[in-house]
Structure 1
Amino acid sequence: MAILVLGIIIFLGMHLVRVVAPGFRAGIIDSRGKGTWMGLYTIVSLVGLCLIIYGFSQARGETGMLYDPPTFLRHIALLLMLVAFIVLAAGFLPAGRIAVALKHPQVLSIKIWALAHLLANGETSSVLLFGSFLAWAVILRISLKRRERAGEKVLPVFKSARNDVLAVVIGLVAFVLFVWKLHELLIGVQPVVL
């Protein structure tokens, strides 16, 4: 489980640099350029992500259950994941009404994803992983609110309602693909057992 914890610290730590050490980030950008910062950010994040993937696969076989979720929570989690996919798609498209209403759809989709997985999985490793991501997303959302109050432009600006239709279609297609095959191929677990 140590590798999973290390991966979480590296990955989420890198994603919190702007929150906890904005001067460090700004200093690198000022002295070496934004490209250098983005390269460092990408490399460190990928190392953390690889450690999370490897560490989670190892920890799943080593850790016990903290709780055994009832079946109905798995159904709720599945429904939440459909919402998470649509919200995530809305965050990557030019802003429609969904993105404007939710303010930070990508962060919200991570919160929904983490919560859904906490509802459906009671293993120690799962609770650590998804609980960490949920905490990170809450911290990030608080930081974005502060930046917004300070006058920084962090909110999406409405472009077209067509993007809402696209977000729903893309989210539905991605959700179906994940439930049908991709989750099993990428994660090794079939989310719906028929």
Structure 2
Amino acid sequence: MGWVLLVAGLVLWTGAHLFKRVAPEARAGMGDRGKLLVAVLVLASVALMYFGYRDAYGPVWWGRHPATVGINNLFNLLAVYLFAASGMKTRITAYIRHPQLTAVKTWAIGHLIVNGDLASFVLFGGLLAWAVAEVVLINRQTARPAPPAPASMGKEIGAVVGTLVVYGLIAWVHYWFGYPAFG
């Protein structure tokens, strides 16, 4: 049952996110109701992926190692920063067109480095494939926007502080769910 939930969650996540790209007229016709629908589908997909991943068993090619845990943590710290930078339009957003999708790709690669089991390859590899597809579709459909104006030092500092706080919360949630982020 875990595999069914995991794959269903990935399909639902991908479909909800790509709907705007593959059927823009249909999505635009839904107006604000479409935003609510996508939000509900995304939340449902996260629940399906969580429960599916937890219960999916399969081959394990490598296990956790202090070096891979450290690499994963660095990748995830960068991913959280890219999300913060996107929201605050920090200087790095002048160089990275899709900071949030780059964050997802960075996060997925970090998790693939530390988790050498089939369920992780399906979950994190699937989300990595979705993020790559999303970038390709966006780049084909929209011109590159002008880079944002340089952010103030306050925004840069705020993004770093926010990153550290959110990263700490993510680590705590990982421990709470039984997936230690360190060690």
Same fold (TM over 0.5): yes
Which ranges of structure 1 fall in alignment gaps of 5 or more residues?
A: none
Letter in 1 for 2:60: M
Match of 2:174 among 177, 180, 183: 183
Deviation at 1:24, TM superposition (A): 2.6
Q: Does residue 35 of structure 1 match 2:35? A: no
Q: Does residue 91 of structure 1 match 2:89? A: no
Letter in 2 for 1:170: G
The CA distance in 2 between the partners of 1:9 and 1:156, in whole Å, is 33
Residue in 2 that maps onto 1:13? 15
CA RMSD, 1 decimal: 2.0
Q: Does residue 131 of structure 1 match 2:125? A: yes
Q: Quick check: 2:75–2:106 contact (8 Å CA) kept in 1?
A: yes
Which stretch of the first structure deviates more once superposed, 110-119 or 14-23?
Answer: 14-23
In the superposition, relative to structure 1, how do residues 66 and 156 fare at CA in structure 2: closer, same or farther (>3 Å)?
farther
Percent of aligned positions that are identical: 29
Residue in 2 that maps onto 1:45? 42
| Equivalences, count | 180
Q: Does residue 160 of structure 1 match 2:151? A: yes
The CA distance in 1 between the partners of 2:94 and 2:164, in whole Å, is 20
The CA distance in 2 between the partners of 1:144 and 1:83, in whole Å, is 22
Q: Deviations over 1:115-143 (max 9, x none)?
A: 00000001111110000111111111112
Match of 1:72 among 43, 67, 71: 67
Q: Deviations over 1:138-178 (max 9, x none)?
A: 111112222333x7x5x662362332221111112222343
Secondary structure at 1:16 match in 2: helix
Deviation at 1:71, TM superposition (A): 4.0
The CA distance in 1 between the partners of 2:42 and 2:169, in whole Å, is 26
Superposition pairs for residues 91-130 of structure 1, below 5 Å?
Answer: 91-93=86-88, 95-130=89-124
The CA distance in 2 between the partners of 1:137 and 1:156, in whole Å, is 21
Which ranges of structure 2 fall in alignment gaps of 5 or more residues?
A: none
**TM-score when scaled to structure 2?**
0.87
**TM-score when scaled to structure 1?**
0.83
